[in-house]
Structure 1
Amino acid sequence: MTELENCMESLIKVFHRYSIEDGDAKTLSKKELKKLLENELPTFLKTQQNPKTVDFILKDLDQNKDDKLDFEEFLPLVVGLSMACEKCYMLHEKKKTKKSCAHVHGADCRATAMARLEQVITNIVDVFLEYADDDGKKPQLNIEELKKVLELEIQSPELKDKINADDIGEAMEMLDKNHDGEVNFREFCRCVCVLARCYYQKKTGKGGKKVKGKEPEAEQED
């Protein structure tokens, strides 16, 4: 698997590692979310001063107000922390420090014992910066660079066979919210999460959170 596909696979594994603890593999309860944050995002949680951080995160992400997070509701947390990591990288680049994705919320995210979700976040940043030609400006992906990302990083048959030139053009229109012909890091994160959601639905047989009727049981990860 490519680095980007490994990121998507890891997101699914991390989610299911904790969501299955109460018997419902499709959602994270508050207790499961707290345990996930403690184990998989320790540097982030340790820097939070408010003891109700988990409550605030759950409230912000819980779209249907059922006090649980499904996989789709969980993904914006990854986007937000990835953006924080990318901003720190850009700040350190301006100060001419060593190229790395460092200091997510003030903590070194290249630690030897980096948790899996922290690794996913840094890898998403690394993939974006690998293909984004900055030319001395803030890194962006143009149509050719996005095409290269999809061609080289998306190799899984269930994803690769469904991507063509029209899909790339449509993705650019969907992601390029400011209509400048380029995709910034925020927009790239949205793309990764859309692909991760598609991959999740393929692996679990879940067709989407709004589908009526009984859904197949989610696949449990080791």
Structure 2
Amino acid sequence: MIEVIRRRCPDKAQNWLNQTLTQLHAPLDRNLFGAAYAGVRRRLGGEPVIIDPEEQAALQGTELLSLNGHALDEVCRIFLLFRASECLAPGDYAPFISELYLRGDNYERQALLRGLTYLPDPERFVATAVEACRTNAQVIFEAIACDNPYPLRYFPELNYNHMVLKALFIGSPLSRVVGLEERITPELVRMAEDYAAERRAAGRPVPEDIELITSNWGAKHEAI
């Protein structure tokens, strides 16, 4: 990942990045890390990272290919999060991630949430990811709920269902919820149908993509 970042850094940012990585070692200086994590966008900018064929070959077989199209500052922040895992005791890392999320701005939070899948032992960050689903900021909610495999892999059923219902409620497209079809259950179908009934009773339109829940569930049963 670091080479993907370096190849896109202007010289001045390259020097800053190299100096920062040299200073990030165990025991982690949290103030130094916080300043670096917050300053990435100002230093590197937010241009999308388009992975070229050479990089695709090098990253083949890793999940890092899915970073294609992410902003450069976001990719760098995810790398810094991974670097921090090497500088902290295992028991300190999940609380560190939680605190970083709570203290971050919108850009910092989005990068953290999109990076959870790539971090060591990602299941330990479920509490932080679930907390993100409670946000009032749609961009933060969509950072965990949309185009992100983390909920599919690690959310308990109740939390996953609540996330999907919130996506319906605030207008986040269900087509971007990774693996939705795999996580449809009778309870999720019931919740979606109850929500649709409430909307109709109030004379409000029902989101069209609710059919991604109800129709997929029906198709599953027809196939059995």
Query: Which bracket does the TM-score occupy, shorter chain normalised?
Result: under 0.3
* Higher helix proportion: 2
Larger radius of gyration: 2
Q: TM-score, normalised by structure 1?
A: 0.28
The one of the two structures with greater contact order (alpha-carbon pairs below 8 A, sep at least 6) is: 1
Instruction: Please give the TM-score of this superposition, normalised by the length of structure 2.
Output: 0.28
